[in-house]
Amino acid sequence: MSGLCAEIIHDEGALEALGPRWRRLWLQSPAATPFQSPAWLLPWWRTFAPGELTAIAIWNGHDLVGLAPLYLEAHVSGPRLLPIGISLSDYLDILCAPERQSAVNAAIAEAVLSLEWSQWILPDLATEAAALALTLPAVRENCDSCHAACPVLSLAGDPSLTDCVPARRRRQLRRAHQAARRRDRVDIRRAEADPETFLGQLIRLHVARWYGQGGGVLADAATREFHRNALPRLAAEGLARCWLIEIGDSVVGAYYGFHHSRRAYAYLGGFDPAYAGESPGAILIGHAIGEAFREGAREFDFLRGQESYKYGWGALDRWTRQRVWTRSTPA
């Protein structure tokens, strides 16, 4: 296989030890997002570990040139092969060194076929995902379809947002700022340097925002623990973008996002419903878009979901794909 060697990793400690090489490969991979970084996926596995770890590492000598972070999940129809990070990650993929992508894909496919599974599911693949080029000889692919909409705003012009955000939304944003200032002093500050404090505020505000509707994703204790593990690593890598807004002496809104490879990602937020008239969530999004532009981002990705507010900012749908391979019995 062109001098490449595949390793199947079942031990969590071995996966952790792969971290530095994994990070180098992730930085080399042009299609990679923060959701493929070890800073995100290692805490995910440590927190959830919902099956048997079955990560596939592809080596060229001592160089890691490919990684498929996978696990096997028991299922009534037979074991299913799934990507680490599923559910909480808006984008999933494998990693390939760009100069060896074809050979790495073939090595990953060969390793996958040596495993015992009935179905391999790869959801949430971005339009440029490396996994879209995978082929599995002699295995029927019974699904290759659109999966989820991720509204994306193209950034252009200047930080005033005049050339990319519709005039109506800019007027609404000005009115929100005016309403907030009428109520009291307004302060927006970066907060990822103190992950524990930021997450405490985010959890409080997110749950308050979704009170009566299940409390939102952060009502789940395991999800909160995951973010407590992941955010310090993401912040240390320079990936996290966390903002808090205060009106007077009260923290009334929180924004949790990422920035990588000239793209910003709006992941999660929350606001105090008592301040809904001041629209602190919208103020934070407008601030995050402007800061992303100043940092050189070409796109602001609102991630999965077709909530109407995303389109008010001028975002347009970009669809992910899902691939599913099925074999009648495990190999």
- Could you read off the pLDDT of 105-163 as tens digits, one per residue? 999 999 999 999 999 999 999 999 999 999 998 888 877 788 899 999 999 988 788 99
Asked whether the domain spanning 156-297 has the same topology as the one spanning 5-148+321-326, the reply is: yes
Nearest 5°: the CA angle 305, 295, 65 is 75
Is residue 1 over pLDDT 50? no
Please determine, for residue 216, whether its predicted confidence score (pLDDT) is greater than 70.
yes
Architecture of domain 156-297 in CATH? Answer: 3-Layer(aba) Sandwich (3.40)
Separation CA 198–CA 278 (nearest Å): 21
Going from N- to C-terminal start, the domains of the chain cover 5-148+321-326, 156-297
The structure's pTM equals: 0.95
Pick the CATH number of 5-148+321-326 from 3.40.630.30, 3.30.420.40, 3.40.50.300, 1.20.1630.10: 3.40.630.30
Quote the DSSP letter at residue 214. T
Identify the pLDDT of residue 277: 96
Give 125: exposed, middle or buried? Use CB within 10 Å, 0-12, 13-18, 19+: buried
